[in-house]
Amino acid sequence: MRFVSTLIVVLFFAGCQAQQTSVQEQANGGTVLKLDKAAFAEKIAEENIQFVDVRTPGEFNAGHIKGAVNIDYTSPDFPDKIQQLDKDKPVAIYCQSGNRSGRASKVMLSLGFKEVYDLTGGYSHWK
């Protein structure tokens, strides 16, 4: 009986750790994937990735993930600026906690982006 209990606990934790990626949204032929810190780090290391911090310029200047460009989701011209990216190339995005990047990813899907990767928990979980 003790063996069975131990096996159940091991399988439970193995299953939890394997949950690095989850589909958040699919629309217009595009997909948003929520990635944990490790999977996001792998994704932003890829050569063809477009990497965007959707926080305000003040937040960005106070600290950001190396390689990110700042396109403020709260700015009225966010849709215009984000559309300057290549919609057919993958885009990795993050904000402070995951709220704004979640909303930004929906806007991006509506604009025709195909592959969007969103950091679960945002910059708060990155540091």
Catalytic hit among 33, 52, 95, 108: 95
Distances (CA, A) of 28 to 10, 31, 59, 109: 39, 8, 31, 6
Helix then strand count (H, E) for the chain reads 6, 6
CB 84 within 8 A of CB 50: no
Does the active-site annotation cover 95? yes
What is the rounded CA–CA span in Å between residue 54 and residue 70? 6
What is the rounded CA–CA span in Å between residue 26 and residue 94? 18
List the catalytic residues. Answer: 95
